[in-house]
Amino acid sequence: MDAMPLTDAEFRQFQSWIYKTAGINMSPAKKALVSGRLSKRLKHYQLPSYGDYFRLITQATEAAELQIAIDLLTTNETYFFREPKHFDFLRTQVLPLAQPGQPFRLWSAASSSGEEPYSLAMTLAEGLPSNSWEIVASDISSTMLGKARCGHYAMERAEHIPKALLAKYCLKGAGSQEGTFLIERSLRSRVRFMTINLNAAMPRLGEFDVIFLRNVMIYFNMETKREVVARMLPLLKRGGYFITSHSESLNGVTESLAVVEPSIYRKP
């Protein structure tokens, strides 16, 4: 049984729900994305319409399916060492000034399937060999975090990892695991993965020297951007850095940070 096409009224239900849940502002152009990503779930339950699926996930008894729907509608493309200038800035401008004996803490606040936090972990392991350091990696998608914790990727995902770091921190799969690689265990142990919804109250995380919030604010409207950043800034140390993607800006979002260069900000 094929489901009826997603109607405009049904799309508006999902549009309103994902905004309230995750702060994501879906334009009408995303209707095809919603339809495509959820169609398999309708087939799984043999539901005749997207409205029936919406009613299913909003029932109190369907928390697991609700999380699946969130995962499907919030998962975005990522890759290792994406926007490399940020890793260069961290390596050349931030880590050399880290205080000896002080633990260095970094938050990857939209970590998806782990490529960003593991890229950061390699950078910190190289730049702070004698310092203690920790990375907190968070995402709203529990499915993505599950993949991230495993640290197991198809070999083509290694394309942007510098060869020296690939050899040092990644284990090449053999036998049944051929064509894959695994992030080395001691590096994985330095990354703490957590489910965090940036549109809800922040858990107690402590303070950070650097916060990466990249490639997620493009899905927020201005009001949501202001609210999210206002929740996060108390967790950034004075003198700490707040880094967005090159396609994002904090112009009009906050006046509490000084621009260092485009997409890189510092807390006075």
- The larger pLDDT score, comparing residue 191 to residue 142, is at 191
Identify the band that residue 100 occupies on the pLDDT scale cut at 50, 70 and 90: confident
- Does 182 have pLDDT greater than 80? yes
Question: Tokens 């879906």 map to which residue?
Answer: 26
pLDDT at 218: 84
Identify the band that residue 24 occupies on the pLDDT scale cut at 50, 70 and 90: confident
pLDDT at 66: 87
Identify the band that residue 22 occupies on the pLDDT scale cut at 50, 70 and 90: confident
Beta partners for residue 195, in sequence order: 139
Catalytic residues: 37, 139
pLDDT in tens, 51-97: 999 999 988 667 788 888 988 887 677 899 999 999 999 999 999 99
Topology at the third CATH level for domain 84-266 = Rossmann fold (3.40.50)
- Does 184 have pLDDT greater than 80? yes
- Does 177 have pLDDT greater than 90? yes
pLDDT at 70: 86
Cα 220 from Cα 223, distance rounded (Å): 8
pLDDT in tens, 206-231: 999 999 999 888 889 899 999 999 99
Identify the band that residue 254 occupies on the pLDDT scale cut at 50, 70 and 90: very high
Angle, nearest 10°, between helix axes 142-150 and 63-74? 70
Cα 77 from Cα 112, distance rounded (Å): 8
CA 203 to chain centre: 16
- Does 107 have pLDDT greater than 90? yes
pLDDT at 208: 98
pLDDT at 60: 63
Residue type at 198 in one-letter notation: L
8-74 maps to which CATH number? 1.10.155.10
- Please give the average per-residue pLDDT across 20-46, as a whole number: 90
Q: Where are the alpha helices (DSSP H) in 157-266?
A: 163-169, 185-188, 222-232
Residues of the chain with CATH 3.40.50.150: 84-266
Residues of the chain with CATH 1.10.155.10: 8-74
- Whole-model pTM: value is 0.85
- Please give the average per-residue pLDDT across 120-127, as a whole number: 97
Q: How confident is the prediction for the chain on average, in pLDDT?
A: 93
pLDDT at 23: 82
Identify the band that residue 4 occupies on the pLDDT scale cut at 50, 70 and 90: confident
Beta partners for residue 182, in sequence order: 152, 171
CA 245 to chain centre: 12
- Does 25 have pLDDT greater than 70? yes
pLDDT at 1: 58
